[in-house]
Amino acid sequence: MISIEVALGQRSYPIHIGSALLANSDFLAASIRAAQILLVSNEVVAPLYLEPVTTALARRRVESVIVADGERHKTLETFAAIIDRLIDARFHRDCCVVALGGGVVGDVAGFAAACYQRGVDLVQIPTTLLAQVDSSVGGKTAVNHPHAKNMIGAFHQPVCVIADTDTLSTLPPRELAAGLAEVIKYGLIEDAGLFAWLEKNIGALLALDPDALSHAIRRSCEIKAGIVAEDEREQGRRALLNFGHTFAHALESLGGYRRWLHGEAVAIGMQMAANASLALGRLGAEDHRRIGELLRQAGLPTRAEEIDVDAVLELMRIDKKAGRAGLRLVLLDGLGKAEVAPAPDRAVLADAIAAQVCA
């Protein structure tokens, strides 16, 4: 097991990464200390992993909520169902919410933990690659509004993250590829060496090679933990983690949160952001080519069919990252070199989007 610390003073917490962690009852019992525990999972993950977690906590009071699977269910209604269960069970302020699943479960369960009695303990047990490398770390919790992704939420750090790499063996190939989008993002914004390593090892990752997966998860978590420790509430450098996401969130909204997995939308969004960086003379043509090639080798989409460019631009204007000074985007000055900058003019953005839109 590898442990990485997210250094936030008294609220610091570990990210545990390793094999067979969910089979280790003693480890789970020591990591989840509350006497009252609400397990939140979904209808796909619960049949696979709810029992070993429940067994490890057998001497506590354990309740569970099983939510529907998919981004379209990351709603206030799902959030309310979790709150209802906490209240019906008469859980105290020293209870713990445990999120067992992918990014949707982690986000909505985390938001419930942030709100119940003004904040209770949260443990993240991510079971998808995307959640293990990104959404379970950093304390962002939220639900979607029909017109804007993650518009309702709170910062609420977990007390620990438990990433059992064995859970990735049950991931469908599409979900695995979606997680790789976030790993690629880390290479693009922070670590050109990681990007080059991915170019050489993408096949091993898609084949679920345990050593390759462990390295990709560890390095991604190291990068995110360092950025979060420096800028917990996204007042500065943490905004780099949004590379491609402003485009992606608009696409997800237009697709009714059904058409693409989050990582797939991020892949298209990163290609659009790379297009804008190229058009502004910030990114070289060869680096631009390598980005598109790696996304394709990872099995990720880079183009969107039947999407209106103006509709994407309109939704980007109401993205939660837009402020009084206007929309800001993460742009690339090369592989591993990113900067948050004012969005370019509408024509540049429209061209960057249109290049990835299929009629």
306: left (phi over 0), alpha (psi -120 to 50) or beta: left
Whether residue 82 is predicted with pLDDT greater than 80 in this model: the reply is yes
- What residues have CB less than 8 Å from 257, skipping those under 6 apart? 70, 71, 72, 74, 144, 149
pLDDT at 235: 87
- What residues have CB less than 8 Å from 316, skipping those under 6 apart? 246, 247, 250, 322, 327, 343, 349
Tokens of 6: 């997210």
With bands split at pLDDT 50, 70 and 90, how would you rate the model's confidence at 59?
confident
Check 156, 238, 282, 288 and give the catalytic one.
238
pLDDT at 320: 56
Provide the CB-side half-sphere exposure for 152 (13 A, CA).
14
Check 59, 90, 118, 200 and give the catalytic one.
118
Residue 338: name the closest of 267, 262, 287 by CA.
287
pLDDT at 305: 87
Average pLDDT in the 84-93 region?
97
What digits encode the pLDDT tens for the residues 22-49? 999 999 999 999 999 999 999 999 999 9
Whether residue 253 is predicted with pLDDT greater than 90 in this model: the reply is yes
Check 224, 252, 282, 288 and give the catalytic one.
224
Whether residue 323 is predicted with pLDDT greater than 70 in this model: the reply is no
Share the mean pLDDT of the chain: 95
Please, where in the chain does CATH 1.20.1090.10 lie? 173-358
With bands split at pLDDT 50, 70 and 90, how would you rate the model's confidence at 152?
very high
CA–CA separation, 271 and 290 (whole Å): 11
Is 140 an active-site residue?
yes
Structure-derived torsion over alpha carbons of residues 128, 129, 130, 134, reported in degrees to the nearest 10: 110
pLDDT at 317: 86
Enter the DSSP assignment of 68: P
- What residues have CB less than 8 Å from 240, skipping those under 6 apart? 189, 190, 227, 330, 338, 339, 340
Element (H, E) at 214: helix 210-230
High-pLDDT (> 70) share of the chain, %:
98
Whether residue 359 is predicted with pLDDT greater than 60 in this model: the reply is no
Is 11 an active-site residue?
no
Spatial contact of 131 and 99, defined as CB atoms under 8 Å apart: no
Q: Using the structure block, give the residue that is written with the tokens 């800001």.
A: 328
Lowest mean pLDDT among 81-90, 129-138, 304-313: 304-313
pLDDT at 147: 84
CATH architecture for the domain at 173-358: Up-down Bundle (1.20)
Check 73, 74, 149, 249 and give the catalytic one.
249
Is 118 an active-site residue?
yes
CA distances from 117 to 34, 111, 112 (A): 15, 12, 10
CA–CA separation, 165 and 210 (whole Å): 8
Enter the DSSP assignment of 148: E
Is 321 an active-site residue?
no
Check 71, 232, 234, 252 and give the catalytic one.
234
With bands split at pLDDT 50, 70 and 90, how would you rate the model's confidence at 297?
very high
Q: Using the structure block, give the residue that is written with the tokens 């390295």.
A: 215
Whether residue 318 is predicted with pLDDT greater than 60 in this model: the reply is yes
With bands split at pLDDT 50, 70 and 90, how would you rate the model's confidence at 148?
confident
Is 92 an active-site residue?
no
Provide the CB-side half-sphere exposure for 71 (13 A, CA).
22
pLDDT at 15: 98
What digits encode the pLDDT tens for the residues 163-197? 999 999 999 999 999 999 999 999 999 999 999 99
Strand-pairing partners, residue 164, are 18
Residue type, 66: I
Average pLDDT in the 238-248 region?
96
Average pLDDT in the 207-219 region?
96
Whether residue 322 is predicted with pLDDT greater than 70 in this model: the reply is no
pLDDT at 175: 96
Whether residue 199 is predicted with pLDDT greater than 60 in this model: the reply is yes
CA angle 281, 317, 140 (to 5 degrees): 95
Average pLDDT in the 124-144 region?
97
What digits encode the pLDDT tens for the residues 107-121? 999 999 999 999 999
Check 73, 262, 282, 288 and give the catalytic one.
262
Check 24, 42, 150, 242 and give the catalytic one.
242
Is 60 an active-site residue?
no
Helix (H, G, I), strand (E, B) or coil at 159: coil
Structure-derived torsion over alpha carbons of residues 131, 134, 140, 142, reported in degrees to the nearest 10: -40
Is 249 an active-site residue?
yes
CA–CA separation, 157 and 31 (whole Å): 15
List alpha helices for 18-96, DSSP H.
25-31, 46-56, 76-88
Strand segments (E) across the chain: 2-6, 13-18, 36-42, 61-67, 96-101, 121-126, 140-145, 148-155, 160-164, 304-305, 328-334, 337-342, 357-358
Has domain 2-170 been given CATH number 3.40.50.1970? yes
- The predicted model scores a pTM of 0.95
Check 16, 74, 140, 185 and give the catalytic one.
140
Strands 304-305 and 357-358: parallel
